[in-house]
Structure 1
């Protein structure tokens, strides 16, 4: 099944982060399967900032450090192995981009005003009626920017999120 993209903006970042949390809870309840979910805000200079739930740099450093230490023990240099492995893993994590393209998110989010935020969601599978019910707390609070949903589902979502 092909993943579907949805980008929704809100007047404040608290609502965007609340939506991310609610969608993660729905995923835990098996109502949807997320491939990626990112909140984008703007920093003091107006530059888009991506808030991704998993730091690939940190995960890479941890994994690389573990493997480096293990290899270091084999060659009687565990500290050197740790340092080299962590550095290599961090670099690999930073260069790895899974899910939604970072440049695409920054380009779309460039239109945000100062205190606004945007949520990008990549959904693989969804129980649409139950998820729409779960999104009722966001009625009238946001604006749909882009989706790859079917026209019918996009219209339903737009009516809910953008309701007057």
Structure 2
């Protein structure tokens, strides 16, 4: 079962920065994501969804596995290229996750100019990823346990003091 986490930020650039930072955490296997979306509430009140590409993350994982398979069969470069292509394709084609209608409703609740990062988390190593949070934000909705949600809130608050 996946967990939903929505974190508000003061602007879309900050939310996109955090989404970009998640790519590193995925590569380090600290978190597995099903979906990542940045919801922006523009100054005119309109809500826009930004869906960062998971293809790059899929390509990195595919290249790793392709390289390992290639080493076994003594053609590592071909294996890496094939694995990267397969990983990128699977990342690009995967469009399941958080419902767009829900995200737009959440966006309507944001102040104009603000943004939120919505994550559908398949698996996370909380004790390793929480200390890595560097950008403060506000938890606006989760399906996490009360204890884990409080740890996330504390980590986001501590990021603002660093």
Alignment TM-score, normalising by the size of structure 1 = 0.68
Secondary structure of 2:102's aligned partner: helix
**CA-atom RMSD, angstroms?**
2.1
Secondary structure of 2:138's aligned partner: strand
Whichever of the two has the greater Rg, that structure is: 1
Moved over 2 A (4+): 42-45
Q: Which residue number in structure 2 is paired with residue 30 of structure 1?
A: 29
Q: Which residue number in structure 2 is paired with residue 107 of structure 1?
A: 105
Unaligned 5+ runs, structure 2: 55-93
Q: For residues 54 and 22 of structure 1, do their structure 2 counterparts lie closer, same or farther at Cα, with a shift above 3 Å needed?
A: closer
C-alpha distance in structure 2 between counterparts of 1:8 and 1:111, whole Å: 12
C-alpha distance in structure 2 between counterparts of 1:53 and 1:152, whole Å: 29
Provide, for residues 67-126 of structure 1, a one-character-per-residue CA deviation record: whole Å limited to 9, x for no partner. xxxxxxxxxxxxxxxxxxxxxxxxxxxxx9511000001111111122211000000011
How many residue pairs get aligned? The number is 121
Q: Which residue number in structure 1 is paired with residue 70 of structure 2?
A: none
Alignment TM-score, normalising by the size of structure 2 = 0.68
Unaligned 5+ runs, structure 1: 56-95
Q: Is 1:144–1:162's contact at 8 Å kept on the other side of the alignment?
A: no
Residue 147 in 1 paired to residue 142 in 2?
yes
